[in-house]
Amino acid sequence: MTENTEGLPTKHPMKKWDRVKGENSWTMFKVISEFVQGFETLNKLGPCVSIFGSARTQPDHPYYKMAVDIARLVTDEGYGVITGGGPGIMEAGNKGAHIYGGKSVGLNINLPFEQGHNQYIDDDHNLNFQYFFVRKVMFVKYAQAFVALPGGFGTLDELFEVMTLVQTGKISKVPIILVGSDYWKGLKNWVKDTVFGQEKNISEVDLELMPITDSPEEVVALINEFYNEQARELSPNYEL
């Protein structure tokens, strides 16, 4: 920081935008249309479980098969299944719901490196989004539980977004379950030992937000334990 002759900080000129599109304000109408489409479709759906995971997981991978089993079991419990609509773990989640007679929802996002939606999404529950933040609202509002299988940055983003919303009380507390102990235990140990233990950047109770399991049956047991196993009527996580 430099000073002028009077000893006061010198004001420097601000950098300027190269260009700002005048139509940016009209983007709001596209955002609103995505919210309207999502709400009108999913309001009629009923309670669901959101399943996250990598788009790169192949059908012969154990995690793919585990996602199919999880979707089948939550379908048996009366939940719909919501995924990101793409391949890999998302496809597995939709497949497990679809072939076992459950409601199968796909929240697709337009990305340059992923091709379209998977074949196991219900025709009337196949939504396409341009904006990640709108899509995230749909993931969260209508899910009574979140199941995260191994995935990349997108999965981590969705996982920590949900944990932040629960931690801050912006949504109701819901089960957030990590599947795949070999994959997730290093992350949880870092959160426990460094984020909490060393730096105290979270509370000890926050460590309870991320149970880990390798069992599809335990996923369902954790969800049923959180809610009353006999409960037939549930509420969305928050109201807008």
Q: Which residue has better confidence, 110 or 31?
A: 31
User: Could you tell me if residue 44 is inside a domain?
Assistant: yes
User: Could you tell me if residue 4 is inside a domain?
Assistant: no
pLDDT at residue 23, as a whole number? 63
User: Could you tell me if residue 232 is inside a domain?
Assistant: no
Tokens for 58?
């192949």
The confidence band for 240, taking pLDDT boundaries of 50, 70 and 90, is low
What is this structure's pTM?
A: 0.88
Residues 48-71 have a mean pLDDT of 97
pLDDT at residue 14, as a whole number? 83
173-209 burial, b at 16+ Cβ within 10 Å, e below that, comes to: ebbbbbbbeebbeeeeeebbeeebeeeeeeeeebeeb
pLDDT at residue 75, as a whole number? 97
CB–CB of 113/86 below 8 Å?
A: no
pLDDT digits 0-9 by tens, 106-115? 999 987 766 6
User: Could you tell me if residue 155 is inside a domain?
Assistant: yes
pLDDT at residue 64, as a whole number? 98
User: Could you tell me if residue 236 is inside a domain?
Assistant: no
pLDDT of 1 above 60:
no
Residues 172-197 have a mean pLDDT of 96
* CATH number of 183's domain: 3.40.50.450
Number of domains in the chain: 1
User: Could you tell me if residue 13 is inside a domain?
Assistant: no
pLDDT of 79 above 60:
yes
User: Could you tell me if residue 94 is inside a domain?
Assistant: yes
Please state, in angstroms and as integers, the Cα–Cα distance from residue 2 to each residue in 5, 6, 8, 11, 14, following that order: 10, 11, 8, 9, 15
Q: Which residue has better confidence, 235 or 60?
A: 60
pLDDT at residue 58, as a whole number? 97
Residues 179-207 have a mean pLDDT of 96
The confidence band for 232, taking pLDDT boundaries of 50, 70 and 90, is low
User: Could you tell me if residue 14 is inside a domain?
Assistant: no
pLDDT over 70 percentage in the chain = 90
Residues 28-40 have a mean pLDDT of 93
pLDDT of 37 above 90:
yes
**Residue-number span of the structural domain to which 87 is assigned:** 26-224
